[in-house]
Each structure stands twice: as C-alpha cells, then as structure tokens.
Amino acid sequence: MTRSITNPAGLHTPTDYGYSHIVSAPGEQVFIAGQYGSDGSGHVVSEEFADQVAQAFANLRTALAAVGLGPADVVRIGTYIVGHDQEKLQVLLEELHTTWGTELPAQTLIGVAALALPGMLFEVDAVAVRPS
C-alpha cells in the first residue's frame, strides 16, 4: 500500500510523541474495534499496564491479519489510557515505535477514568486502508 505521511512545516514534529499529523491512502477503509490486553477468552491478561499494551497491540495485529492487512496499512489509531500519565505515555511510545518505527499513523490519545471491563487499563482502535 502507498501510504503518504505529512508533517507540515509550522506544526511541531510529532513522531517523538507517537503519531503523524496527516496520513492519507487510497483504497477501502477497514475499521478495527477497540482491542485491549485480553486473552482468547476476553480476560485481561495482567494487572500491569505494559503487559496490557503489548497484548492489545498483538490483538490489533491479529485482527488486521484476519482481513489480510498489517500495521503498515493502518492510517489512524485511537488510544485510551486509564489514569494517563507520563510513565504510561512512555510505555505506549515504545510500543508505537516498535510497531511502526518513524512511519506512525495519525493518533488521538484520550485519558479516561475507566474502560469497558474491570481491570482494563488500555485500549486501541484503528482505521486501516485496503489498497485499491
């Protein structure tokens, strides 16, 4: 897929913060529901934030693969962190750069009081584009 990333002059360089300002791509949009640090039964895998982030991204890759896509096809993610702070942001940044390097999708990070299930600390949803 040809994905075009634009970080315009006049806006700060966002890659150190885990995202790109603009990502565009031709093709069919595919929406991936929020993935969290769950095992195959839907149970939270750990009480540790870093473990949940790693599992959530593994689940995102599994969902993408199920429709013939991968991280390179993702143009936007939404991330949700319970009790967001700088320590949790650093954990997320490491995972983002491991997954995408410097070719990051657009992202909105939202700090929240709680997520859908007790014990959930992190969730990520995605929009990917299937090449036309």
Domain holding 92, by residue range, is: 23-130
- Is residue 5 one of the residues assigned to a domain? no
Q: Would 40 be classed as within a structural domain?
A: yes
Average pLDDT of adjacent 10-residue blocks, the chain of 132 residues = 84 89 90 95 96 98 95 97 97 97 95 97 96 82
Domain count, the chain: 1
pTM: 0.90
What CATH number is attached to the domain comprising 84? 3.30.1330.40
The three-state (H, E, C) secondary structure of the chain, written as one string: CCCEEECCCCCCCCHHHCCCCEEECCCEEEEEEEEECECCCCCECCCCHHHHHHHHHHHHHHHHHHCCCCHHHEEEEEEEEECCCHHHHHHHHHHHHHHHCCCCCEEEEEEECCCCCCCCCEEEEEEEEECC
